[in-house]
Amino acid sequence: MTTPVCTGASRAVAASAGHRRYASFSSYVRARGPVLLRTARSLTANPSDAEDLLQTALTKTYVAWERIEDHRALDGYVRRALVNTRTSQWRKRKVDEFACEELPEKETAPEPDPAEQQSLHDAMWRAVLKLPDRQRAMVVLRYYEDLSEAQTAEVLGVSVGTVKSAVSRALGKLREDPELHPVR
């Protein structure tokens, strides 16, 4: 087994060749980079994706730099690398949508008509206004002001039992109101 006598020299020659390769490649990228980036942007919808695509194509070009015989045709080589890389990305992407006979989305209930809601609101207020003053006050405090039975009793100065019975009678009258029948 023989060992090379001058390993440092062979490394220096290889490093020098690598440096020349790197220098010529980097000068090419500096000179043609903007044009190649425009080509990459024409292949993608997103500018960031275009930059990534160009970097990938330039990496492939750098790896093959020594094998490329005609450096006057580098633009064509890089463009072909751009197109091939983009095609590979497109083929590998995951498709999340599939055609089918039935739509997977559940049907949602249609939004209520604002005019009908306003009409119902007005009918409810007319029905509440027909109640006796004391019952009307208790219904408004309980259901419109959202007070508890105890709070309503405290505001009106009556017992909780009085509030319960008066509200029960008032709700019975509201159920009987002819204007509110279409609601049920």
pLDDT band at 3 (very low <50, low <70, confident <90, very high): very low
Share of the chain above pLDDT 70, in %: 83
**Rounded to the nearest 5°, which phi and psi values hold at 82?**
-60, -50
Arithmetic mean of pLDDT over the chain: 82
pLDDT single digits (tens) 112-125: 888 888 888 888 88
How far is it, in rounded angstroms, from Cα 81 to Cα 35?
A: 14
Q: What is the pTM of this model?
A: 0.43
